[in-house]
Amino acid sequence: MELNRESRQVGLARALSKLGFCSRSQAVKFIHAGRVQLNGATRRDPETPVRLQLDRIEVDGNAITAESRFYLMMNKPRGVVTTASDEKGRETVYSYLGETLPWVGPVGRLDKASEGLLLFTNDSEWAARISDPNSHLDKTYHVQVGALAGEGLAEKLVRGVFADGELLRAKEARVLRAGEKNTWLEIVLDEGKNRQIRRMFEHLRIEVLRLVRVAVGPLALGQLAKGQHRVLSTMEKVALDQTVAISRGKDRILETQ
């Protein structure tokens, strides 16, 4: 028998994340520091059960209510790390978001040397769906390599290479343009493996000069300037959601065959 929605329980840290107040890891720190109260009592266990529709949560004495949902895209500059704070004092993506927005967290990651399209949201469930490797959401990259490369290299990337005992391959790859000493390629991935493109080229002993993510599913970076961000339109979010739903539907069909 399905529980009434108001009686469903989640852990305290997850509740703060679901309400859009902060990330779950940040919530754990707040809770351990004794800054979070549940129904007037300080709780230090991040797994303390919470009924979202019934219980009162406070941080530093301030009541926490559900934030309006925000869905943003940024053109992440090169040399910036995708974290809220950095122990080495490096510049983070949050320095480009300003102080007028509520808390939003990155959906997935781009490493320090990579640039381009990065999503942010305070909707933790949506972020989980978009970043789930099982969604097989296409991510498109333009990659400049320090070598002259023809279609043979593109074909090799699609066939895949074994690196660290793992098969790494592109869903699609093609040459965009070639100069005298380097080549730009377009590479599409539908897997979420760590540093996948860089690892493929490291295995092939080809230097990556630039790596720019230009699209996530149907959402394109377009003319958004470096370091700038904007809110997704309703149509853009719907298109992303539909793409993920269709992909998941295909996976379920394959599992039953």
- Written as six digits, the tokens of 176 are 């965009």
- Which parts of 77-150 are beta strand (E)? 105-107, 115-121, 139-145
H or E stretch including 15?
Answer: helix 12-18
Given a contact cutoff of 8 angstroms between Cβ atoms, the answer to whether 130 and 237 are in contact is no
Q: What's the CA gap between 178 and 194, in Å, rounded?
A: 27
Phi, psi of 116 (to 5 degrees): 110, -150
Q: Indicate if 45 belongs to the active site.
A: no
Q: Which among 111, 123, 132, 138 is annotated as catalytic?
A: 111
Residues 6+ apart with CB under 8 A from 243: 137, 217, 218
- Written as six digits, the tokens of 248 are 């998941």
Q: What's the CA gap between 182 and 248, in Å, rounded?
A: 38
Q: What is the CA radius of gyration of the chain?
A: 21
**Residue in 47, 30, 20 with CA at minimum distance from that of residue 105:** 20
Q: How far apart are the first and last CA of the chain?
A: 30
- Written as six digits, the tokens of 60 are 């530093």
Q: What's the CA gap between 129 and 249, in Å, rounded?
A: 13
Annotated catalytic sites, by residue? 111
